Amino acid sequence: MQIIRTKKELRDAIKILRQNGKKIGFVPTMGALHKGHLSLIELARKHADKVVASIFVNPLQFGKGEDFDRYPRTEKEDILKLSQVDTDIVFLPEVKEIYPEGFCTEVRITKNTEILCGAFRNGHFDAVATIITKLLMMVLPDIAVFGEKDYQQLHIIRKLVLDLDIPVEIIGAPIMREVDGLAMSSRNAYLSETDRKIAPEIFQMLSMLRDRLRNGGKLGNLMDWGINCLKNKGFTSVDYLEARDSVTLELISDINRPARIFVAVWLGKTRLIDNIEI
């Protein structure tokens, strides 16, 4: 596995792969890798000859007071994990390599960035769109894999590549969960022992909601039930619990088309998100 830290080296390595006719798969991450991330690498491998992963904790997508400084950084372990799943290149740039002095361009998406997490994380998705555009331009992959764990992000990136005519196929990967149902996340490392025991209740609640909806339960009543359920289980607060169209992300009041339930909650100072297909 090649470990690359500069854009120049990355471009040179990619050029050779392309000259050799290799199909390139790309998996961008912020590191602190878990099995969810590794499942994306494995999926990329199924669609491509060579797999490039990136690890970059993007400062611009963290708002004021968010967890940029304390975000877990486990580079040595990450490199080992990536090499064990047959990654070909890992790109580990420093912040100044990505945002040299004078950087002043932003990719802004004007639809579906103000809902769900966007309503609580000002400018987050524009910063995500900007870094993903830059990384796609650097890696020039044929396919790129993103997790359904961050479903709104996946949706926005699909729109981004469509609108900007970036020639890459975006592939969504299913959510990987711990045995107790908690969606794997680098942020789970923040949870205290007590909070870690409460956290799986998110998926328990989502699964019950899904089952009740499938059995004809009324959406409005069930959403109220879901929010109360989370509060009673000990979550500090609920940012949102919403049912939306899986394709357009429009709010829905009836489950009469492919839909998902989206949730974001706080457990102490840790914000967790999850979603489920109905």
Question: Which residues carry out catalysis?
Answer: 37
Choose the binding region for ligand AMP from 3-11, 64-72, 107-115, 184-192 (rule: CB under 6 A).
Answer: 184-192
Draw the binding track, 149-168, toward ligand AMP (x: CB under 6 A; -: no contact): xx------------------
Question: Residue type at 200?
Answer: P
How many amino acids of this chain bind ligand AMP (CB under 6 A)?
17
- Least CB distance to ligand AMP at residue 48 (A): 16
Nearer to ligand AMP, 147 or 226 (CB): 147
Site string for ligand AMP, 12-51 (x = CB under 6 A): -----------------xx-----xx-xx-----------
- Strand 259-267 relative to strand 270-277: parallel, antiparallel, unpaired? antiparallel
Nearest to ligand AMP of 117, 219 (CB atom): 117
CA–CA separation, 58 vs 128, rounded Å?
8
The yes or no reply on residue 139 touching ligand AMP (CB under 6 A) is no
**Residue window 186-205: x/- pattern of binding to ligand AMP, with contact defined by CB under 6 A:** x-------------------
Regarding 146 and contact with ligand AMP (CB under 6 A), the answer is yes
Q: Which of 82, 98, 160, 184 binds ligand AMP (CB under 6 A)?
A: 184
Q: Output the residue with the shortest Cβ distance to ligand AMP.
A: 147
Closest CB to ligand AMP among residues 180, 224: 180
Residue nearer to ligand AMP on the CB measure, 99 or 146: 146
- Near ligand AMP in 44-103, by CB under 6 A: none
The 3 state secondary structure assigned to the chain is CEEECCHHHHHHHHHHHHHCCCCEEEEEECCCCCHHHHHHHHHHHHHCCEEEEEECCCHHHCCCCCCCCCCCCCHHHHHHHHHHCCCCEEECCCHHHHCCCCCCCCCCCCCCCCCCHHHHCCCHHHHHHHHHHHHHHHHCCCEEEEEHHHHHHHHHHHHHHHHCCCCCEEEEECCCECCCCCECCHHHHHCCHHHHHHCCHHHHHHHHHHHHHHCCCCHHHHHHHHHHHHHHHCCCEEEEEEEEECCCCCECCCCCCCEEEEEEEEECCEEEEEEEEC
Cβ distance to ligand AMP smaller for residue 32 or 229:
32
The residue ranges that bind ligand AMP (CB under 6 A) are 29-30, 36-37, 39-40, 146-147, 149-150, 173, 175-176, 183-186
